[in-house]
Every structure is written in structure tokens, then in C-alpha cells.
Amino acid sequence: MRKVVLSMGGWSTGRRAAVVAAALIAGAVVPAAAHAADGPDSDDWGTIVKGDHCAQANAWIARVQGLQRTVDTALFESHSPATPTAPEAQNGGQNLVNLTVPPGVGLGVVSALYSRALTDRLPTNSGGSGTVPAPCAAHARAGGGSVDVGVPYVAAPVAGGTQLSPIGVHVDAIDVEATSRPGHPVAFKGGAVSGYLSSFGHRIINIPKIWPVNFGVRIPEDRSQPAFALATTNEQVTTDSMGKPTLDAKGHYKYDPTASSGYINGIHATVLGTTAADATVAHAAVLQKGGGPGAVESAEPKAPSAGLQAPAMPAMPKAP
């Protein structure tokens, strides 16, 4: 039986990236699927559309890249302004939905999923049932009633059991939000009723009900051994107006409490090795004054399909 030892607390996106960089040096990560050691990548925010938009919002239920470059997809993505593949709202209903990305790779299952993206208006309450005008404001929200994801996902052999994935995350009632208003710092909100991290069928740690920011684990803890998996919950990152991470004077990522743009991931899970893969679950991103070089075209909103959506997604995040 594989022994799993954890290191947690004081986790940061910089430390996460440093672990990946060390694994890269040790030959445990495919170079094309690794982050730079400085912190999150400039494409982790999501899709930024072209045009004279003073604010943008992006949300999705799951996004995955890797597995020998065979996967590069977002699922149940919402965007404001809407794009051809991402309307302003997506819902999965109350049924359990299999999160499967081309070419048939399973990421897990989720129930009661939703993603929302708003600009020039804000929700009137936490339920988001109504909105009020708010020029150049942006709001994004994503979550689900029950989420069981793994990278890659290997279901439990019995109903109600623990999944057999190398790194797995189970959370109930996960919900993340990001809000941006002109002249105000970006605001993040995230949490879940309960949850745990698992590895190869063993539950290894309970996720606190009140999530610390960037609560994460490294497997194994022994720094003399290469990491084979990382997981972070309530990951919060500040960015500039084009979704690029805020940097310090030396060009390293640094959280900026005054930034008006950024994103939150409910779950960020990474498996290292020759089949490296990176996944984010429950993502909400907002920014002020986007739409410069590198942005994509916007379009009129399209009604979400009844089933699973797997839109083409440029500039997927490099693991982790």
C-alpha cells in the first residue's frame, strides 16, 4: 500500500510553482505542462475577449490540460460578454453529471452545478436571483452541490467509497465568487460545507469548513523525494487588466491587495510525471479594462445545451 505523507499550511501559488519547477528539474514533469517557478501563468485567468469592454467575467465548472497533451478543455464555461461557446450562465440541473473531456478522459462527477458571469451589473443577493445596474462592474460565480474529481479520475469500486485517483478531491456545496468594481480591490469568496483530499483510495486530510486562502498539500512531504501530486483549495490570485498575475520588482508573482482584477479556484489539482495533468474546479474570474492583444472575439449569447459542454478553450493553464 502506498504511504502518503502530507505537508500543509502556509501554501502559496509561488510555493506550488516552485514544487513543479523542482519536479521539472528532477525529470518528473513534462516541460510543456509545467509552470514557471515565479507563480501562476498569464493564461490562468481564462478567456479575454476583444472589444471596448470596461469589465469582463469568466467562470467554469472544470478545466483540464495535460495527459500527454491530449486534453485542453473547459467544461460548463460562462463568460460576459458572451462568446460562441460560453453564454453568461450554465446549469447542469440536479442530476449527477460526468465531467468528461475529449478524447474521453474522465475528470469526475458533479451534481447541481452552475456557472455565472455578469458585467455592468451585480447580483442583488447571495443567491444571484436578481441583478442591479453597476457600470463597469464584473461578477463571476461557480459551484456545485456535490463534487468528486480526480486527476485523472478513477471511480471508487463501490458506491459511496473513496475514489482511486492519484489525487482526488471531494467537496459538498462548493461555491466560489469573484467581484470587481471600478476603484475597489477585487473581492473573493469561497467555501464548502465539507470535503476531503484523497490519494489512491485513502482519505488523507479533511478540508476545513472555513477555507484558509491557498490551503494546499504536497505529496509526499519528504522534500528529498519528488512530488507526484499537489492540491490547493480556495486558490486566490490577483492580476492586471489583461489577466496576467501581479508581479513584484523582481518579476515574481505577488498578491496585490489593491488589484481590481483576479480569479479564484475552488480546487486546483495537479498530477506530476510523464502523464502530467492539471485541473481547476469551480473557477471565477473578473477584470477591469480587458480586451487588448491576445484577446478572442466575443459573440451574441447562445443558449446552453441540455448536456455537457466542452468548448474549445485557447490558452489553457500550464500545470499546475
pLDDT in tens, 150-188: 878 899 999 889 999 888 889 899 999 999 999 999 999
pTM of the model: 0.79
Task: Write the pLDDT tens digit of every residue in 37-94.
Answer: 345 655 689 989 988 899 999 999 988 777 665 566 788 999 999 999 899 999 887 7
Mean pLDDT value across residues 127-131: 73
Residue 315 lies in a domain: no
Quote the pLDDT of residue 126. Answer: 63
Please check the confidence at residue 121 and state whether its pLDDT lies above 90: yes
Measured distance CA(94)–CA(300) in Å, rounded: 27
301 occurs within a structural domain:
no
Dihedral of the CA atoms 121, 47, 102, 278 (nearest 10)?
-100
The answer to whether residue 302 is domain-embedded is no
Residue 5 has pLDDT above 80, yes or no: no
Sign, Cα dihedral of 193, 170, 243, 303: negative
Contact predicate 99/74, CB 8 Å: no
22: left (phi over 0), alpha (psi -120 to 50) or beta: alpha
Query: Between these two residues, 43 and 190, which has the higher pLDDT value?
Result: 190
| 64 in any annotated domain | yes
pLDDT for 296 equals: 58
pLDDT at 303 over 70: no
Average pLDDT, the chain: 77
- Domain assignment of residue 305, yes or no: no
Q: Is residue 2 part of a domain?
A: no
Residue 297 lies in a domain: no
Q: What is the pLDDT of residue 220?
A: 73
Q: Is residue 27 part of a domain?
A: yes
What are the φ and ψ backbone dihedral angles of 17, each rounded to 5 degrees?
-65, -35
Number of folded domains that form the chain: 1
Domain region containing 114: 7-125+133-288
